[in-house]
Structure 1
Amino acid sequence: MLDENHSDEIANFESTVDKSIPGTASTPEDEPWFGNHVQPGSFVNTELLITETYSSRSVSVPIQVRRGIEPGPTLFVCAALHGDEINGTGAIRTLLGDANWTLRRGTLLLIPILNVLGFERHSRYLPDRRDLNRCFPGSDSGSMASRMARVIFDALVRRCDYGIDLHTAAVRRTNFPNVRADIRKPECMRIAKAFGSGIILAGSGPQGSFRREATRAGCPTIVVEGGEVWKVEPSVAECMTRGVLNVLKELEMIDGKPEVPENQAMIKQTKWIRAERGGFVAMHVAPGDIVVKGQPIATNSSLLSEDQNRLVAPFTGIVIGMSTLPAVQPGEPIVHLGRLPNPKSAKRHESQVECDDVQRTAHEHLATGIQVTEAFDIEF
């Protein structure tokens, strides 16, 4: 159970500390994290206590805290804020097990699962059906979701200089890897470009979302979207892993220079193309594809391929995401397009994807999850 005498820092109740750390008393070089003193050049596997279950058992979030030898910024990297979105979990677990990089400066918090209760139920939501990613910065006296949000916000955001929040598309959808950031904030733009996904969507995020409220509180935070729920897709996880390492390099927390595409598409307007008729959809595009204005993107018809209805691109752009469910009703979203300024910028983006092994692999892989057919001429 939660102890009323917990410190404001929310102490952990179990941890594994680097055995080379002598003693438990704090020194001037120590940093206190969740009841542990973390020395430069060491790491701690620990837990953040966030709530209780119906049976009064404590619920905690597993966190690894790493410190470099030299002082520097503090960065958190989290996944599964929506409990069924675990591509980012796979990426963080890859980083945890990779001995080929060393934190030189600053402090890094790696959080594979932030919404533990949703994760254990394979659900986007908490048991009370609330979306944790609409409850920040939270409240000490609100709903369960709001209280959890408050604990997370105070324990992580208040102590960090930057944040990366890893997501996937919602259920029955998939996304081509992209970064979402408030580009009006220079430090958000800095880490968004450094991440190197090739696509940056401009926006501050929904009201109450983690990255919006963290950025408002002075911790520039970006969201990365890629792939679909309930999976760790290798090509998407690789995009995320490379991106996190790129940001660490940009912040000079690890050695090396970011591996960033020469040209990254800046998207300031997106639009969901929705079904006009009910029926079965034949897709003519895949995630990450470039489309030009007027290009067919999907055709839906009856189950016997009658009464066909063609959907076309309203502008030149990139397929940011799309439905993975071919059966639709009128008004349901089918393809999510990001607008590009002109066909020249579309060609430039297409060329840079081909030159980037990580993006190209993701493009090829995600296309295999969608049945893409040629758009034949039809009579209306």
Structure 2
Amino acid sequence: MTDWKTQTWFGHDIDAGQHRNTELEISESYSGRNIAIPLRVVRGVEPGPTVFVTGALHGDELNGTGAIRSFLADPEWGPVRGNVLMIPVLNVLGFERHSRYLPDRRDLNRCFPGNASGSMATRMAKVIFDEIVAKCDFGIDLHTAAVRRTNYPNVRCDFKNDECLRLATAFGAGVILDGRGPKGSFRREATAAGCPTIVVEGGEVWKVEPSVVDCMTRGIVNVLQELEMIDGEPEVPENQVKLKQTKWVRAERGGFMDMHVSPGTTVVKGQPLATNSSLVQEDQNRLEAPFDGIVIGMTTLPAVQPGEPVIHLGKLSSPKTVRRVEKQTQADEVQRTAQEHLSTNVQVVEPMD
């Protein structure tokens, strides 16, 4: 694709400045019909990087789909420079079944870079990797929490990769987690192949949550501005918090949980997180914060058994940092609104003495 004026994408010649809806064939159905991923190629009028933006790599995680569709609804939207591949649903087979997984129960996000002669999942991953990742310079992969959980909007990337950290910082979610991702995951293998990729987490499965979509859409624009693909300066919160350590606080007893925090809440060590009791309010057991931190995820199912995850806590360095992060969140409308909206998905009560 050395000629910028006209490039061939997925079998179509697309001119600079043109938008084209097309699809990428990835497999065949039991009836022998082609299975394809719908997408839009959005080309700028001037040369620049090529970026993919993907949603629903897990087929039930739809906030990213909603964010991407908000761009697709505007036929005039697009970069001035470079190309953007907008892919609302990457895992179309999982999406059709309202499922995280493929029909064979494999997790597509553990199958990259794929294998042309392997399982259905690895064959699909191979096509996606060869036809999308290998032709892009950067990637943004949009996710939600798994079923029966919710996540406060955050970005995840490999802090050791300068370009990944650059994208994550520019995205401006306010919270950035360090990590390459599991072996075989989309972001890890794409980054290793020379396409720095970040993951964005926010909200719940099976929903399109407006405050999470707002965070994702702002972040996508921010990244494209950072890469000088569109004009303007990224709208980035001051003093974004970078987390290198997280911990799931798990239930010690079976029973019903009364939550004392919600997604995005900052806590100090020893602060009550949740109280567990029987259905008739007996045998109370309290979970407390093991360190100063911020709630980056939590269960949305109040009934638990021993060992089940309840609160996903990101470690902050000190109570002073806790206060700074809380102040930063309140100063940024997008983060503040996400925190307020996500808190309505769980019942939060004051702990009893």
Q: TM-score range by the shorter chain?
A: over 0.9
2:346 and 2:28 map into 1 onto residues whose CA distance is: 41
1:285 and 1:63 map into 2 onto residues whose CA distance is: 39
What residue in structure 2 maps to residue 115 of structure 1?
A: 91
Picking from 248, 265, 283, the partner of 1:307 is 283
Q: CA deviation at 1:37?
A: 1.0
Picking from 285, 293, 296, the partner of 2:261 is 285
What residue in structure 2 maps to residue 221 of structure 1?
A: 197
CA change 1:136–1:101 in 2 (3 A) is same
Give the TM-score normalised by the residue count of structure 2.
0.98
Match runs of 1:311-322 below 5 Å: 311-322=287-298
Rg larger in 1 or in 2? 1
| Residue pair 1:83, 1:125 contacting (<8 A) in 2 also | yes
The size of the alignment, in residue pairs, is 353
CA change 1:101–1:49 in 2 (3 A) is closer
1:208 and 1:101 map into 2 onto residues whose CA distance is: 33
> Which deviations, in whole Å up to 9, do the C-alpha atoms of 1:287-334 show, x marking residues without a partner?
000000000000101111100100000000000000000000000000
1:206 and 1:28 map into 2 onto residues whose CA distance is: 36
What residue in structure 2 maps to residue 47 of structure 1?
A: 23
SS at 2:235 equivalent: coil
SS at 2:280 equivalent: coil
What residue in structure 2 maps to residue 21 of structure 1?
A: none
Moved over 6 A (4+): none
| Residue pair 1:181, 1:188 contacting (<8 A) in 2 also | yes
What residue in structure 1 maps to residue 310 of structure 2?
A: 334
1:363 and 1:266 map into 2 onto residues whose CA distance is: 18
> Which deviations, in whole Å up to 9, do the C-alpha atoms of 1:50-109 show, x marking residues without a partner?
001111111000110011111000000000000000000000000112367441000100
Picking from 212, 215, 231, the partner of 1:239 is 215
Picking from 116, 125, 130, the partner of 2:101 is 125
CA change 1:59–1:169 in 2 (3 A) is same
Give the TM-score normalised by the residue count of structure 1.
0.91
Opposite residue 31 of structure 1, the aligned amino acid is Q
After the TM superposition, which of the residue ranges 361-370 and 91-100 deviates more from structure 2?
91-100
What residue in structure 2 maps to residue 148 of structure 1?
A: 124
2:119 and 2:134 map into 1 onto residues whose CA distance is: 21
What residue in structure 1 maps to residue 50 of structure 2?
A: 74
CA change 1:376–1:175 in 2 (3 A) is same
What residue in structure 2 maps to residue 172 of structure 1?
A: 148
| Residue pair 1:136, 1:150 contacting (<8 A) in 2 also | yes
1:241 and 1:185 map into 2 onto residues whose CA distance is: 24
Match runs of 1:9-20 below 5 Å: none
Gaps of 5+ in 1: 1-8, 10-25
**How large is the Cα RMSD of the aligned pairs?**
1.3
Q: Does residue 34 of the first structure (1) align with residue 34 of the second (2)?
A: no
2:3 and 2:279 map into 1 onto residues whose CA distance is: 71
1:27 and 1:280 map into 2 onto residues whose CA distance is: 62
Opposite residue 284 of structure 1, the aligned amino acid is H
- Same amino acid, percent of matched pairs: 69
Q: CA deviation at 1:28?
A: 6.5
What residue in structure 2 maps to residue 15 of structure 1?
A: none
1:287 and 1:28 map into 2 onto residues whose CA distance is: 45
| Residue pair 1:101, 1:254 contacting (<8 A) in 2 also | no
